[in-house]
């Protein structure tokens, strides 16, 4: 919790004034029973209406001043809490954005969503309540006890017994509740995960008539969440009735003792009423304190979960080289030197002993079966993952020595899953180059074979894309992501199975346009289609995390058994040979 509280540093004034004004309000409230005792013992006993009215005005004045102090405290606490929540949320988002794929894979997207929203809101609420009540409630409780000693020591001893008993109950329940609330948030993570999967995969679920099964799984998850919430609620529910019982027993004891003291003339009737009022104040404040304790318990559990995210440090460390003002000689653009890759918590490496040399301006095709390591290979170039052994070298410099931003400025990436963001088509293309002109965007759209369908949209480049690109087809989204990558004219272009939704004619036109547009650009094309990569300058065949063969289409047809099997499954031998001769001509 201490690490989280640093976000209050910009709200030191509010964090001091909020409890200060609450304590001022509490101070005025503690005088009310004394004033009431004077009204009974002096005004009513002497039938002095003038004195009664005067003291009533004093009570009203104390109430008004207390109200002003309370509103002031509410303002400062709300300002501090909302500012705290904003700072925490922003920093958490920034930290999550800095994490590599490895850390995000380990933590999980659904739990990150819960921690960004539900957990942060719970902590913000907890901070607000703490600033308002954490000092006020104990101040009233102990203040009432002290004030009772000024009236009668013997009667006040009831307070001395009552307050420790209440403290044991309150803090005992809190210690039991903290781990339980942590389990509640973990169950909430599960519900969030199911909700996210159901919404994102709604079409697949309906296509396979899985609605009822999904509803059953969701009901099971929410029932588990409800079960743990009910159990925690039952534990927390003990707090109020137990405190009421203790307070009411203490009130009976006070009346019993005070009655005897009144009979012998030690205290007056007004002072008995004051003692009962002080006990009532303690009751009210302990009810508030009980709710505060429950909220603090939830907040502590949530803070621990958020701290676990902050403790996750990015495994991708920034290098020191930005390659500016450096002359790079030689024809080699990218090298994999005996590279191996093992995903975190994986038993076996995903890639082993990879040795590849790619020259500047080459087009490299990467092909292989599902799970052979094609995407893992190209994901090491922009350092989405770091090699467990060996080195990946770009322009003669190990990628680990680059500043990550400088490295990724060199690279244009089209991921397997086409992801677009809410906004216009032009806005999405400018993710590749922020200051891209409309002419540059238009050129990128032409190369990506997207110009025709973009012009047909209402507004052209200014056509509004809905969240996730739901108002575009799969092929349209893929072509826009390709345009986004090539608009910056990167030195290295990575197309990770980015034409899977395109027909063969569009795919061929796209590859031809990229080849003409790329000039000295080094292009990596990952695909499961032999026809997509057969014209590449060199083809890398992946099989079970290893390189099964490197060469041209014709060379691999002669020397690589894995490539032969891929081509035979997709093309007839005559067609393959014919396309090979076309490729060589």
Beta carbons of 482 and 414 less than 8 angstroms apart: yes
76 vs 506, higher pLDDT:
76
Domain contains 232: yes
Domain contains 75: no
Instruction: Tell me: do 284 and 159 sit in the same domain.
Output: yes
Confidence of residue 42 (pLDDT cuts 50, 70, 90): confident
Domain C-terminal end among 489, 512, 533: 489
What letters, b where the CB count within 10 A reaches 16 and e where it falls short, cover 27-37? bbbbebbbbbb
Q: Is the pLDDT of residue 497 over 70?
A: yes
Confidence of residue 172 (pLDDT cuts 50, 70, 90): confident
Q: Is the pLDDT of residue 326 over 60?
A: no
CATH code: domain of residue 452: 3.40.50.300
Domain contains 474: yes
H, E, C per residue of 500-551? CCCCHHHHHHHHHHHHHHHCCCEEEEECCCHHHHCCCCEEEEEECCEEEEEE
Beta carbons of 413 and 486 less than 8 angstroms apart: no
Instruction: Tell me: do 423 and 306 sit in the same domain.
Output: no
Confidence of residue 72 (pLDDT cuts 50, 70, 90): very high
Q: What confidence score (pLDDT) does residue 321 get?
A: 63
Mean pLDDT of 23-32: 87
Confidence of residue 311 (pLDDT cuts 50, 70, 90): confident
Q: What confidence score (pLDDT) does residue 583 get?
A: 40
Instruction: Tell me: do 297 and 438 sit in the same domain.
Output: no
Mean pLDDT of 111-117: 83
**Per the structure block, which two tokens stand in for 370?**
């599902």
Beta carbons of 214 and 198 less than 8 angstroms apart: yes
46 vs 320, higher pLDDT:
46
Instruction: Tell me: do 141 and 286 sit in the same domain.
Output: yes
CATH code: domain of residue 303: 1.20.1560.10
Q: Is the pLDDT of residue 163 over 50?
A: yes
Domain contains 257: yes
Domain contains 259: yes
Q: What confidence score (pLDDT) does residue 324 get?
A: 52
Half-sphere exposure of residue 70: CA atoms within 13 angstroms, side-chain side: 13
Instruction: Tell me: do 108 and 224 sit in the same domain.
Output: yes
Confidence of residue 277 (pLDDT cuts 50, 70, 90): confident
CA distance 232 to 188: 14
At 475-493, the pLDDT tens digits run 888 899 999 998 988 889 9
Instruction: Tell me: do 98 and 238 sit in the same domain.
Output: yes
Instruction: Tell me: do 110 and 233 sit in the same domain.
Output: yes
Q: Is the pLDDT of residue 582 over 50?
A: no
> Does the pTM of the predicted model rise above 0.75?
no
At 87-102, the pLDDT tens digits run 999 999 998 888 887 7
The proportion of the chain whose per-residue pLDDT surpasses 90, expressed as a percent, equals: 15
Q: What confidence score (pLDDT) does residue 417 get?
A: 84
Range of the domain at 432: 418-489
Beta carbons of 364 and 526 less than 8 angstroms apart: no
Domain C-terminal end among 489, 505, 523: 489
Domain contains 556: no
Instruction: Tell me: do 295 and 165 sit in the same domain.
Output: yes
Give, in order, the Cα–Cα distances in Å from 558 to each of 526, 562, 564, 565.
21, 11, 8, 11
Q: Is the pLDDT of residue 378 over 60?
A: yes
Q: How many domains does the chain have?
A: 2
**Per the structure block, which two tokens stand in for 75?**
């303002």
Domain contains 457: yes
Mean pLDDT of 264-282: 82
Q: Tell which residue, 362, 399, 340, 384, has the closest CA to residue 523.
A: 362
Q: Is the pLDDT of residue 573 over 50?
A: no
Confidence of residue 279 (pLDDT cuts 50, 70, 90): confident
Crossing angle for the helix pair 269-311 and 153-200, nearest 10 degrees?
Answer: 30
Give, in order, the Cα–Cα distances in Å from 196 to each of 80, 222, 404, 421, 573.
32, 14, 31, 18, 46
Q: In the chain, how many H helices and how many E strands?
A: 23, 12
CA distance 222 to 173: 25
Mean pLDDT of 502-527: 84
Q: What confidence score (pLDDT) does residue 366 get?
A: 93
Confidence of residue 577 (pLDDT cuts 50, 70, 90): very low
Domain contains 355: no
368 vs 243, higher pLDDT:
368
The average confidence (pLDDT) of the chain is 84
């Amino acid at each position: 919790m201490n690490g989280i509280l640093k976000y209050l540093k910009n709200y030191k004034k509010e964090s001091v004034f909020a409890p200060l004004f609450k304590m001022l309000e509490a101070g005025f409230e503690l005088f009310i029973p004394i004033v009431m005792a004077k009204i009974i013992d002096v005004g009513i006993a002497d039938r002095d209406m003038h004195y009664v009215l005067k003291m009533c005005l004093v009570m009203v004045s104390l109430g008004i001043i207390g109200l002003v102090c309370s509103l002031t405290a509410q303002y400062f606490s709300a300002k501090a809490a909302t500012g705290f929540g904003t700072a925490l949320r922003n920093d958490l988002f920034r930290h999550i954005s800095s994490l590599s794929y490895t850390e995000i894979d380990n933590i999980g997207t659904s739990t990150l969503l819960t921690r960004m929203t539900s957990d942060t809101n719970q902590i913000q609420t907890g901070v607000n309540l703490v600033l308002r009540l954490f000092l006020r409630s104990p101040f009233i409780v102990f203040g009432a006890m002290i004030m009772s000693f000024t009236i009668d020591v013997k009667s006040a001893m009831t307070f001395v017994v009552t307050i420790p008993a209440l403290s044991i109950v309150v803090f005992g329940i809190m210690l039991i509740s903290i781990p339980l609330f942590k389990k509640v948030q973990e169950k909430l993570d599960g519900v969030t995960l199911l909700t996210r999967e159901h919404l994102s995969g709604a079409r697949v679920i309906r296509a396979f008539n899985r609605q009822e099964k999904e509803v059953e799984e969701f009901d099971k998850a929410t029932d588990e969440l409800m079960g743990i919430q009910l159990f925690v609620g039952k534990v927390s529910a003990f707090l109020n009735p137990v405190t009421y019982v203790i307070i009411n027993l203490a009130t009976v004891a006070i009346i019993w003792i005070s009655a005897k003291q009144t009979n012998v003339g030690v205290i007056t009737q007004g002072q008995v009423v004051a003692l009962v009022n002080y006990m009532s104040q303690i009751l009210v404040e302990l009810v508030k304190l009980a709710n505060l304790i429950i909220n603090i318990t939830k907040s502590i559990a949530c803070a621990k979960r958020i701290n676990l995210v902050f403790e996750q440090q990015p495994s991708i460390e920034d290098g020191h080289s930005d390659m500016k003002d450096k002359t790079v000689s030689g024809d080699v653009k990218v090298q994999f030197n005996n590279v191996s890759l093992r995903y975190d918590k994986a038993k076996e490496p995903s890639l082993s002993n990879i040795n590849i040399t790619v020259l500047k301006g080459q087009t490299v095709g990467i092909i292989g079966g599902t799970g052979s390591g094609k995407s893992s290979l190209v994901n090491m170039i922009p350092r989405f993952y770091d090699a467990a052994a060996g080195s990946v070298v770009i322009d003669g410099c190990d990628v680990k020595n680059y500043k990550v931003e400088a490295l990724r400025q060199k690279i244009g990436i089209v991921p397997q899953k086409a992801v677009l963001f809410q906004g216009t088509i032009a806005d999405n293309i400018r993710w590749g180059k922020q200051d891209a002109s409309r002419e540059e965007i238009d050129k990128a759209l032409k190369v990506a074979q997207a110009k025709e369908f973009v012009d047909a949209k209402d507004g052209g480049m200014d056509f509004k894309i809905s969240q996730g690109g739901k108002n575009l087809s799969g092929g349209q989204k893929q072509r826009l992501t390709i345009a986004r990558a090539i608009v910056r004219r990167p030195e290295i272009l990575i197309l990770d199975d980015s034409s899977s939704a395109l027909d063969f004619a569009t795919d061929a036109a796209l590859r031809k346009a990229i080849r003409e547009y790329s000039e000295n650009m080094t292009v990596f094309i990952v695909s499961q289609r032999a026809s997509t990569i057969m014209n590449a300058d060199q083809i890398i065949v992946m099989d079970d995390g290893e390189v099964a063969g490197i060469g041209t289409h014709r060379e691999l047809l002669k020397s690589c058994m894995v490539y032969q099997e891929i081509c035979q499954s997709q093309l007839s031998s005559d067609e393959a040979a014919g396309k090979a001769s076309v490729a060589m001509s």
